[in-house]
């Protein structure tokens, strides 16, 4: 490995290597639990000089999801580039290497997962087709599910915490290997519920300042009727909900990127970083700087 190449040690990274004794106790010796389980899990933000190579592969499947930036990887069947909103799944026991792009290093979420029926798992769901870069629409639920797995394993190694994380793993993988189903369900939910569609509209325009009138007009409501319906369903006014959505996204940016406060404010539609900081503190109880120092 060249001097600048690194396996880990990135600012803001998160990773857990589940100990062997935990795997044996809560997966290896339990017929149902051994069907699918996490062995390693991690998040590397802007992982400059990230590099891994395994001549014989490893014992697990490896799923890497690129949120931002890009990287390169090689397998026994080809060389590829992975960019934002793409993922790949590497099969066990096969040569591979991967590395972050030097100029635009990737931000990745990754999971190593295994099974007592590795061959059956790969064949039943045709996982080999995901060796090549595969596009996937951004879905906040992917990150939320990853976080549930990570937090559960980070707390303690008990039957309950490990079991919960591994049950979440089924859901997590499903987002990737059944993307058409996920997309269809989301569309159906949004088409049946105008308020859900209006929330999706907010997410797609999180970088803007929207008024109640602008949102309500998109969905053929009067502002007063839309506000009443929205508050009845969520307990918040549309604008209060939109502000909290913005601050939630800002929290993610504070933990995932090396951005200054002004850049984060710009990304959620606030031209004045001081005003953004006041809103952030009102919602979270902390300033952006204080929040960043605690994560």
At the topology level of CATH, where does 193-294 sit?
A: Arc Repressor Mutant, subunit A (1.10.10)
Note the CATH architecture for domain 14-184: Sandwich (2.60)
Task: Render pLDDT for 176-214 as a digit per residue (tens, 0 to 9).
Answer: 998 766 555 555 545 557 888 888 889 889 999 999 999
Check: pTM over 0.85? Answer yes or no: no
Pairing of strands 78-83, 107-114: unpaired
Tell me what pLDDT residue 119 has. 86
> Model confidence over 267-290: pLDDT tens digits?
999 999 999 999 999 999 999 988
CATH topology of 14-184 equal to that of 193-294? Answer: no
- Residues 266-272: contacts with CB under 8 Å, at least 24 apart: 266/207, 267/206, 267/207, 268/206, 268/207, 269/206, 269/207, 269/208, 269/209, 270/209, 270/246
The pLDDT mean for the chain works out to 89
| Domain-wise residue ranges, the chain | 14-184, 193-294
The pLDDT value recorded for residue 182 is: 56
The predicted-structure confidence for 211-230, as pLDDT tens digits, reads as follows 999 999 888 888 999 999 99
């Amino acid at each position: 490995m060249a001097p600048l190449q690194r396996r880990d040690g990135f600012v803001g990274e998160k990773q857990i290597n589940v100990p062997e004794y935990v795997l044996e106790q809560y997966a290896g010796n339990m017929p149902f639990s051994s069907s699918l389980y996490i062995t390693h899990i991690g998040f590397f933000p802007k992982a400059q000089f990230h590099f891994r190579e395994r001549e014989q592969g490893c014992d697990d499947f490896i799923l890497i999801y690129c949120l931002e930036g890009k990287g390169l990887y090689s397998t026994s069947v080809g060389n590829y580039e992975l960019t934002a909103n793409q993922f790949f799944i590497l099969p066990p026991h096969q040569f591979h290497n991967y590395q972050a792009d030097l100029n635009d290093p990737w931000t990745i979420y990754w999971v190593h997962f295994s099974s007592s029926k590795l061959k059956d798992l790969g064949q039943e769901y045709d996982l080999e087709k995901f060796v090549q870069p595969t596009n996937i629409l951004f879905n906040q639920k992917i990150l939320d599910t990853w976080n549930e797995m990570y937090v559960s394993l980070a707390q303690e190694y008990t039957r309950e915490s490990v079991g919960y994380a591994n049950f979440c793993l089924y859901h997590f993988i499903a987002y990737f290997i059944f993307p058409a189903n996920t997309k269809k369900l989301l569309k159906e939910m949004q088409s049946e519920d105008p308020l859900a569609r209006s929330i999706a509209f907010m997410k797609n325009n999180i970088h803007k300042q929207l008024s109640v009138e602008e949102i309500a007009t998109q969905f053929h409501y009067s502002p007063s009727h839309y506000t009443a319906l929205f508050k009845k369903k969520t307990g918040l006014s549309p604008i209060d909900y939109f502000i909290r959505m913005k601050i939630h996204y800002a929290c993610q940016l504070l933990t995932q990127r090396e951005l200054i406060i002004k850049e984060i404010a710009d990304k959620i539609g606030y031209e004045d970083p001081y005003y953004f900081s006041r809103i952030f503190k009102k919602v979270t109880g902390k300033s952006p700087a204080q929040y960043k120092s605690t994560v």
